[in-house]
Amino acid sequence: MKPLGIIFAAILLISCGKEDPDPSPSTSLSYRGLDASLVPHIEGRGVQYKNGDGQNEDFLQIISAAGMNTVRLRLWYDPIDSRSSWDEVLAFSNQIKSEGLKLWLTVHYSDTWADPAHQNPPAAWEGLSIEEMEDSVFNYTARIAQEMQPDIIQIGNEVNNGFLHPLGHRWNSPEGFHRLFESGSAAVRSVDPDIKVMLQFAGYRGLESMLLETDSLDYDMVGLSYYPMWHGKSLDSLSLALASISEEHERTSLLAEFSYPFTLDWADWTNNIVGLESQLLPDYPATPSGQERYVQDLVALLKSTESVGICYWGGEYIAFDGPQSTEGSPYENQALFDFNFAAQPALEVFD
């Protein structure tokens, strides 16, 4: 009978001869962030954000310390004021990148808000032919990629019905929609093929038909917006939609927009978008802990569907204009900062 020491040594030698297993994948989403488009405007009014201890601190440093690594900004072509203008977005983009954060640009291809109900082209592009519009989209998008150097460029905002109407209307001019989207994508590829190109879709209803229709288009990511009051209160349906993006259509999926209230109260006299119990999900009360748990559960849902990112909308949208303003924030009860502008617990659970 062999001595036990010899047997143990032999077993150890055999086990060491095997290749080590691959390290377990990171438990963090690749893109963890929020849309911070209003920060330059709010800070320009002299308002200061505070960390969780109630101390004034730079906004980007607050979110970075909380574990976020991505900032989303919207870009308008020629807005009526400086908000979301080229100069403002370029300056803030440089600050974001200098902080070591990833930059995600949402290009509206409009002078103002673009969404499923509004997709008006810039006034300067009115009356262009489809060929001229293609050139305009290409040149503008290439300039964005070259000068702002984002990690992600979103071609249009919530393009359920296309963009740049009427030429890019998804239903009335599907070929035009595809041509204009491809012009934007081609512009990005011509500048830097490492920049990710995203298509954003609002909700999960109708997503499958959009993915089938755009199967031949050149884009990397699909970002979904999800607001229960508009898109449905089924997180299971959201999960299935996100999973189908990668499993059936071989695109990368993200949650591009979402939010949730920490209270149904208000901090100014501007009507809030969410203010009723009926607008909530039954399992998540409008409390700081309810908001925090909602974010936690969405992060877990995204990981289970192999999605790569999450982005909060309106997290910065505090009541910046004073307690009696009727032109302040319709979103202060869904921000990631409380009514004293201090960071909420939900800000800490994106990682």
What are the residue numbers of the active site?
158, 257
Alpha-helix residue ranges (DSSP H) falling in the chain: 4-17, 39-44, 59-65, 86-98, 130-148, 174-191, 207-213, 228-231, 235-247, 288-304
Would you tell me how many other CB atoms lie within 10 Å of the CB of residue 131? 9
Those residues whose C-beta lies under 8 Å from the C-beta of residue 37, and which sit 6 or more positions away, are 72, 73, 74, 83, 84, 316
User: Which residues are 312's β-sheet partners?
Assistant: 34
Give exposure, 281-308, as e/b (b: 16+ Cβ within 10 Å). Answer: eeebbbeeebbbbbbeebbebbeebebb
Buried b (16+ CB within 10 A) or exposed e, 43-81: beeeeebbbbeeeebebbebbbebebbbbbbbbbbebee
End-to-end CA distance of the chain: 55
User: Which residue type, as a one-letter code, is found at position 263?
Assistant: T
Distance CA 116, CA 45 (A): 31
- List all residues 6 or more positions away from 219 whose beta carbon is below 8 Å from its beta carbon: 155, 181, 185, 197, 198, 199, 251
Q: Give CA torsion, residues 226, 227, 231, 235, to 10 deg.
A: 70
Dihedral of alpha carbons 313, 197, 350, 299, sign:
positive
Residue 165's φ and ψ, nearest 5 degrees, are -70, 145
